[in-house]
Amino acid sequence: MILETRGVSKSFGKLAALTDVDLQVEEGEIFGIAGPNGAGKSTLFNVISGYYPPSSGKILFDGHDITRLKSHQVCHRGLARTFQIPKTFPTMTVYDNIRVGTTFGSRRKDGIDTVIDFLNLDDQADMVASNLDLYTTKLVMLGAALATDCKFLMLDEPLAGLSIVEINDFLAVVRKIREERHITIMMIEHLLDTLVDVSDRMMILHNGGVIFTGEPEKIRQDRKVIEVYLGEKEENGDS
């Protein structure tokens, strides 16, 4: 296992955002996470990446305990992430935005051009980030994460706001990252059908707890998932 959480909980005052979350991600897989709004998905990402310390529990990454490390320390260990809302430096060029990733990760300046070429951003390299469309902005944010020379990549709702064509293009990039750069990927997404298609295994969160972990195709056969995520109630026919 490249990533493991053991009994991870996170509370904000009296609000329990995560409760005893056990998670295991195997090296080389694409691991999908889904669940209703407020289920704790982004909180889990924030805790794993060092943005929030867990209230209890342990986080292991690549054989090391990273439970109390800060975000930049987690990044130096090889774990990088993107955010729900694309975050770039709007007055900087695409090249310089991706260069920022080397500062927090590998510090290998020779990797910038490699990432730009890998994401087919050569024609946009000198463009200012504020002039980019949403899809390209997401690629730049992804490029900055890859420029850290990470071995584990966390994507927080990367498909939000994209067209069907752009979703398919982005998923092709995700698969390419796993296959050609040999990076393990964990992805949060609301598009359940899409996540089922791209993931090797999945986890469903509800009210901060795990209600399903397993093969994606088994999700629609799980009664608990149907009730709390798909919103189907067999007795009264409500959806």
- Residue linked to tokens 């707890």: 209
The distance in angstroms from the start CA to the end CA of the chain is: 37
Distance set, CA 122 to CA 16, 84, 106, 143, 222 (Å): 45, 25, 21, 12, 45
- Label residue 231 by pLDDT band (50, 70, 90): low
Q: Name residues whose C-beta falls within 8 Å of residue 103's C-beta, 6 or more positions apart in sequence.
A: none
- Label residue 108 by pLDDT band (50, 70, 90): low
CA angle 133, 136, 141 (to 5 degrees): 120
C-beta separation of 153 from 178 below 8 A: no
Domains in the chain, start-ordered, CATH in brackets? 1-75+184-239 (3.40.50.300)
When the pLDDT of each residue in the chain is averaged and rounded to a whole number, the result is: 92
C-beta separation of 151 from 62 below 8 A: yes
User: Which pLDDT score, from 0 to 100, does residue 46 have?
Assistant: 97
- Label residue 103 by pLDDT band (50, 70, 90): confident
User: Which pLDDT score, from 0 to 100, does residue 107 have?
Assistant: 57
The residue among 180, 176, 165 whose CA lies nearest residue 198 is: 176
Q: For strand 30-34 and strand 201-206, is the pairing parallel, antiparallel, or unpaired?
A: parallel
User: Which pLDDT score, from 0 to 100, does residue 227 have?
Assistant: 86
pLDDT exceeds cutoff 60 at 43: yes
User: Which pLDDT score, from 0 to 100, does residue 232 have?
Assistant: 52
**pTM of the shown model:** 0.92
User: Which pLDDT score, from 0 to 100, does residue 221 have?
Assistant: 87
Side chain identity at residue 105, one-letter code: G
Say which range, 58-67, 112-121, 215-224, has the weakest mean pLDDT. 215-224
Q: Which two tokens stand for residue 66?
A: 């990273």
DSSP symbol at 128: B
Taking the CA of residue 170 as centre, how many other CA atoms within 13 Å lie in the half-sphere pointing to its CB? 26
CA dihedral 171, 66, 214, 32 (to 10 degrees): -20
User: Which pLDDT score, from 0 to 100, does residue 228 have?
Assistant: 77
Side chain identity at residue 6, one-letter code: R
